[in-house]
Amino acid sequence: MKERIYTIPVNDAFAAAGECPLCSLEDRLSEDLVGYFLGPSLMEPDVRTTTNARGFCRDHLARLYNRQENRLGLGLMLHTHLADLDRDILDRMKRLGGVAGGLFRRKEATDPLRKLAAHLEERRNACALCDRINATMDRYVDVILWQYFNEREFRARFDACEGFCLRHLSLLLSGASRYLDARQAGEMAEALRRIQEACLSRLEADVEWFTLKFDYKNHDKPWGNSRDALPRAIRRLHGTSDLQR
């Protein structure tokens, strides 16, 4: 299989042993982007414009902080982001207070509140790092699907993988609907069904045996693969997390 620059991360993720290759791919991408945003790029005007407007989600703020690198840079980004946030939110709240003062006795007064609350949720959920990850993961899905139908070795590796978490299974199905024709999309859906059926059957059995081990009659029986069944089940449902592997 001849590797190209855009296939290397994908091939590395599927070559490594793991519960979800796309989780591995996304984790590596996330770590690279944390370094990018804490590096010299944070002083680039276009990057700062983006981080001022978008900020970072809770998980990525934690990653940026826990890197223990360039606290000054992180402080500069947070300072200008907070300034942008204050101008936006406080101005809206001031306007709302002036307009709504005479409306709260009427039913329509709740509409501006709902709109402001929705805007706050939009800003709270915005993340410059997530935006980059989502765009790049979409390109990776395009690469995965192309390789599946054009690279025999990759196809065999894909079919033999341990399966995907629900979020990345959804991403692959969505990508198949957008990037493949009807015949290929159906073929991919069937391949994913086979992979997920096998991995979920194993996982369901492991979780069941984990629970049965609490029965005194099974105390001396071997754990098999069930000792870490709970964190594996959680990762299968929601992707990678800080749970101990």
Q: Are 191 and 236 contained in the same domain?
A: yes
Judgement on whether residues 57 and 169 belong to the same structural domain of the protein:
no
Is residue 126 situated within a structural domain? yes
User: Could you tell me if residue 144 is inside a domain?
Assistant: yes
Residue after which a domain boundary falls, among 152, 184, 203: 152
Instruction: Judge if 20 and 132 occupy the same domain.
Output: yes
At residue 36, the pLDDT reads 96
Percent of the chain with pLDDT over 70: 90
Per-residue pLDDT 10s for the chain (245 aa) are: 455 677 899 999 999 877 899 999 999 999 999 999 999 998 999 999 999 999 999 999 999 999 999 999 999 999 999 999 999 998 888 877 655 555 555 555 567 888 889 999 999 999 999 999 999 999 999 999 999 999 999 999 999 999 999 999 999 999 999 999 999 999 999 999 999 999 999 999 999 999 999 999 999 999 998 999 999 999 999 887 443 33
What pLDDT, on the 0 to 100 scale, is given for residue 91? Answer: 85
Task: Note whether 181 and 70 are same-domain residues.
Answer: no
Same domain, yes or no, for 10 and 83?
A: yes
Q: d(Cα 153, Cα 2) in Å, to the nearest integer?
A: 10
13 is a domain residue: yes
Report yes or no on 158 lying in a domain: no
Query: Residue 114: which domain range?
Result: 1-152
Final residue belonging to a domain, choices 107, 132, 152: 152
Residues 138 and 49 in one domain: yes
Phi-psi region of 32 (alpha: psi -120 to 50; beta: other; left: phi over 0): alpha
Q: Which one, of 46, 5, 12, lies nearest residue 28 by Cα?
A: 12
Phi then psi for residue 68, to 5 deg, are 55, 35
Q: Is residue 157 part of a domain?
A: no
When divided into structural domains, the chain yields a total of 2
* 117, 29: one domain: yes
Q: What is the pLDDT of residues 91-109, one digit of tens each?
A: 888 877 655 555 555 555 5
pLDDT at position 245 = 36
Identify whether residues 145 and 231 lie together within a single domain: no
CB atoms within 10 A of CB 215: 9
Q: Which amino acid is at 30?
A: S
- Give the amino acid at 14: F
Statement to judge: residues 5 and 98 lie in one domain? yes
Question: Are residues 9 and 120 both part of a single domain?
Answer: yes
| pLDDT reported for residue 50 | 96
Domain assignment present for 86: yes
Distance between CA 15 and CA 233 in Å, rounded?
22
Say what the pTM is: 0.84
Task: Identify the domain boundary among 120, 152, 184.
Answer: 152
Cβ within 8 Å of residue 239, ≥6 positions away: 20, 23, 26, 165, 166, 167, 168
Judge if 206 and 138 occupy the same domain: no
Are residues 145 and 244 both part of a single domain?
no
- The per-residue pLDDT for 105 is 54
